[in-house]
Amino acid sequence: MTATILDGNALAQKLRADFKTRAEALAAKGTRPGLAVILVGEDPASAVYVRNKVAACEKASFHSEKIVYPADVAQDVVLRKIAELNADAKIHGILVQLPLPKHFDSDLVLEAIAPEKDVDGFHAENVGALMQGQPRFIPCTPYGVTKFFEEAGVKLKGAEAVVIGRSNIVGKPMAMLLLQAGATVTICHSQTKDLAFHTKRADVLVAAVGRPKFVTADMVKPGAVVIDVGINRLPDGKLCGDVDFDGVKEVAGAITPVPGGVGPMTITMLLANTLEAAERSAK
């Protein structure tokens, strides 16, 4: 039996329709949700993601501003812009597209964003709030993954969950959310001995490694829910995830595809966080 395919485009469409309705209701009361996106440099993938974020805002009736700097811009210029946006009442969410060029101190830049406008949830204050189980903004990718669990009725209480990857953007917040949902969580990474030992025990497996088709069918427990966070470009130009989709779908109970899985949900939850920020500011 092949796995249920968890369709990120369909789920994103459903949620975004609701966000548009809420945004229009808020705008009618005088507050139009506003997002500012800062892009530094010419990384082609980042440029696509930023374009898609701005387009998603337009479709959902949000205000958006895109600020683009050349790769050699001084960090101070970006910090001054963030200070300006922090004080701008039209802007409820500020996002700096990652990765930043090497001469930037990414942590310093992210800390410059006002925590109440940090719709990526990367500011230390918001990371701390998430750790304490009182999130203000949940980072968009793991937040999107939780929506798949809700939609598919995945039971997390008592489940064995394994997250491969320990990044600040995905692995760590994902593990925290699973833990708070009642799962027993293992975080695996590049130093993990016998990775397959862990993954084969997982009822829920989240792959965020950044290596194409890294998770193969023999590493997956039959019936497991497999979430693929990876986006890798193959030499032929095609996209693939961290999971060998064709093999693993024959073993798993449910699986997200790449493209069309977690990716569209990342942008959707950015809209969710921006809307939430705007609704809070209007209270």
259 contacts ligand LMY7XDAE (rule: CB under 6 A): yes
Phi, psi of 80 (to 5 degrees): -65, -40
- Rounded to whole angstroms, how far apart are CA atoms 258 and 38? 26
264 contacts ligand LMY7XDAE (rule: CB under 6 A): yes
260 contacts ligand LMY7XDAE (rule: CB under 6 A): yes
Binding segment for ligand LMY7XDAE (CB under 6 A), chosen from 63-71, 197-205, 263-271, 274-282, is: 263-271
Place of tokens 């300006």: 84
- Rounded to whole angstroms, how far apart are CA atoms 112 and 80? 9
- Rounded to whole angstroms, how far apart are CA atoms 269 and 96? 16
Binding segment for ligand LMY7XDAE (CB under 6 A), chosen from 20-28, 203-211, 218-226, 259-267, is: 259-267
Of 143-182, binders to ligand LMY7XDAE (CB under 6 A) are 169
Tokens linked to 103: 């001469």
Over its C-alpha atoms, the chain yields an Rg (Å, rounded) of 19
Binding segment for ligand LMY7XDAE (CB under 6 A), chosen from 89-97, 127-135, 143-151, 185-193, is: 89-97
- Rounded to whole angstroms, how far apart are CA atoms 107 and 252? 37
Nearest to residue 281, comparing CAs of 94, 95, 135, 89?
A: 89
Candidates 141, 146, 199, 268: give the one binding ligand LMY7XDAE (CB under 6 A).
Answer: 141
What is the four-CA torsion angle of 266, 269, 270, 275, rounded to 10 degrees?
A: 170
Candidates 138, 258, 277, 278: give the one binding ligand LMY7XDAE (CB under 6 A).
Answer: 258
* H-helix or E-strand spanning residue 188: strand 184-188
In the complex, least distance from residue 131 CB atom to ligand LMY7XDAE, rounded to whole angstroms: 18
Count residues contacting ligand LMY7XDAE (CB under 6 A)? 19
Site string for ligand LMY7XDAE, 12-51 (x = CB under 6 A): ------------------------------------xx--
Q: Which is nearer to ligand LMY7XDAE, 26 or 109 (CB)?
A: 109
Tokens linked to 92: 């409820």
* H-helix or E-strand spanning residue 250: none
The residue ranges that bind ligand LMY7XDAE (CB under 6 A) are 48-49, 95-98, 120, 140-141, 169, 231, 239, 258-260, 263-264, 266-267
